[in-house]
């Protein structure tokens, strides 16, 4: 196991060897060969040119890639995103539960809080789809979906369920129900997975936070140092080879915001967690900063992510929660989402 990136005092972030190696070898590099069929790219200008050169194809889209071979149409993805945004807005209109106990192991505690906050009124067969033990594409997920779709009974019209659940329940046949439940998972799970990961990363990097630091700046700086979406993959395209001679016609391109976000050419003290660097700075207009993707096709969920993460930070700060003082290291495994695991949070 390798160690790198001491971010706050005695806290050490232990990256998985593959990521640690990327950080040690290619930080500050522009383009480099990762394997015979993949070129890594961390130079901000080249990333910008690549992502501008063509839109993502349907298989490159993290949320709305085809489900069991069925393409997701634009109206379908828009309807799902509208439903989940409204559910998040409705949840945020509820008053803060200031007494909530957010101590325990993160990101699990944050995940459960968000699931109950936004989808708490949904039937169990839907809520179970956000279970952290279900991997994104495993057979187990489909077993759970298949069982749920076969169960009789749907929420009655007007039942107090999320808009997303109401949309899901409108499916009539077994096949459509299976598809709808798969899409429920695609739209609901990121709310819990990504936001709890982001807030766990923030706690790890900076808690306890000083009173003069804004949630916004904490989150922007966390997204820089530990971006949950740490890589963007684009499959081989002639457009890319035309942009840079290091990229061949058959090379896939793996863009690595994780490296760009720590490049010494772009940031002063790149490994230091310093939320104040964002005060008065527009994150959408900062070269080499792309935690939510490229300006041309930025994350559709980011308008939900920031207020949900801020809600959690408000509660954590009001309740005086922080990483347990005796925890000095946390691991970041190699996973789709980059985040610390096993973070012990206690009340100070
Ligand atoms: C910390 C939270 C999140 C981060 C850091 C994040 C990051 C990203 C990034 C980097 C992209 C661009 C991907 C690419 O160009 O290849 C993206 C796209 C997208 N994100 Fe997010 N995201 C977050 C949360 C969410 C949530 C909660 C949702 C939905 C509920 C969501 C829905 C989408 C959608 C629909 C797209 C467009 C592409 C697609 O169809 O998948 N994201 N996100």
Is residue 165, in this structure, part of any structural domain at all?
Answer: yes
Count of CA atoms in the C-beta half-sphere (13 A) of 134: 22
Residue 193: both structure tokens together = 């997975």
Is 311 a member of any domain?
Answer: yes
Tens of pLDDT along 210-263? 999 999 999 999 999 999 999 999 999 999 999 999 999 999 999 999 999 999
Q: How confident is the model at residue 71 (pLDDT cuts 50, 70, 90)?
A: very high
| pLDDT higher than threshold 60 for residue 118 | yes
More confident residue, 10 or 51: 51
CATH number at residue 287: 1.10.630.10
Q: Which atom of ligand 1 is nearest to the CA of 85?
A: 30
pLDDT digits (tens, 9 = 90+) for 176-211: 999 999 999 999 999 999 999 999 999 999 999 999
Confidence at residue 249, expressed as pLDDT on a 0 to 100 scale: 95
C-alpha 104 – ligand 1 centre gap (Å): 27
- Is residue 190 in some structural domain? yes
Among 114, 299, 305, residue to substitute to test ligand 1 (most atoms within 8 Å of Cβ): 299
Which protein residues touch ligand 1 with a CB less than 6 Å away?
56, 60-64, 84, 187, 190-191, 194-195, 198, 228-229, 232, 291-293, 297, 299-301, 304-305
Q: Say yes or no to pLDDT of 40 above 90.
A: yes
Question: Is 317 inside a domain boundary?
Answer: yes
Q: Could you give the CA distance from residue 89 to residue 81 in angstroms, rounded to a whole number?
A: 12
Burial of 165 (0-12, 13-18, 19+ CB in 10 A): buried
Confidence of residue 172 (pLDDT cuts 50, 70, 90): confident
The structural domain count of the chain equals: 1
Q: Which residue has the higher pLDDT, 172 or 315?
A: 315
Residue range of the domain that includes 162: 6-347
pLDDT (0 to 100) of residue 9: 62
Any domain includes 110: yes
Assess if residue 253 is contained within a domain.
yes
Instruction: Give nearest CA residue, ligand 1 atom 27.
Output: 191
**Is residue 1 situated within a structural domain?**
no
Classify residue 69: in a domain, yes or no: yes
pTM for the model = 0.94
> How much is the pLDDT for 288?
94
């Amino acid at each position: 196991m390798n160690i790198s990136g001491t971010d706050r005092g005695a806290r050490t972030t232990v990256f998985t060897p593959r990521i640690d190696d990327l950080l040690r070898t290619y930080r500050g590099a522009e383009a480099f060969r990762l394997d015979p069929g993949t070129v890594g790219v961390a130079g901000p200008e080249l990333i910008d040119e690549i992502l501008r050169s063509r839109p993502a194809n349907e298989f490159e889209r993290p949320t709305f890639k085809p489900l069991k071979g069925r393409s997701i149409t634009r109206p379908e993805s828009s309807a799902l995103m509208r439903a989940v945004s409204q559910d998040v807005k409705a949840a945020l209109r509820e008053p803060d539960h200031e007494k909530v106990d957010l101590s325990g192991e993160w990101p699990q505690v944050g995940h459960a809080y968000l699931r109950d906050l936004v989808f708490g009124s949904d039937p169990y067969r839907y809520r179970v789809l956000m279970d952290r033990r279900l991997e994104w594409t495993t057979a187990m997920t489909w077993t759970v979906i298949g069982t749920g779709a076969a169960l009789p009974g749907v929420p009655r019209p007007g039942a107090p369920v999320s808009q997303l659940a109401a949309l899901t329940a409108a499916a009539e046949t077994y096949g459509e129900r299976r598809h709808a439940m798969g899409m429920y998972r695609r739209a609901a799970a990121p709310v819990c997975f990504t936001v709890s990961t982001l807030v766990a990363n923030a706690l790890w990097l900076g808690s306890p936070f000083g009173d003069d630091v804004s949630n916004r700046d904490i989150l922007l700086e966390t997204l820089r140092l530990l971006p949950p979406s740490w890589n963007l993959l684009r499959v081989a395209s002639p457009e890319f080879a035309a942009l840079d001679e290091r990229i061949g016609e058959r090379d896939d391109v793996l863009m690595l915001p994780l490296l760009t976000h720590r490049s010494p050419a772009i940031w002063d003290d790149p490994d230091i967690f310093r939320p104040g660097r964002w005060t008065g700075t527009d994150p959408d207009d900062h070269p080499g900063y792309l935690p939510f993707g490229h300006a041309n096709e930025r994350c559709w969920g980011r308008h939900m992510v920031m207020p949900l993460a801020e809600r959690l930070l408000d509660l954590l700060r009001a309740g005086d929660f922080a990483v347990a003082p005796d925890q000095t290291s946390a691991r970041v495994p190699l996973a789709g989402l980059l985040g610390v695991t096993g973070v012990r949070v206690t009340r100070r």
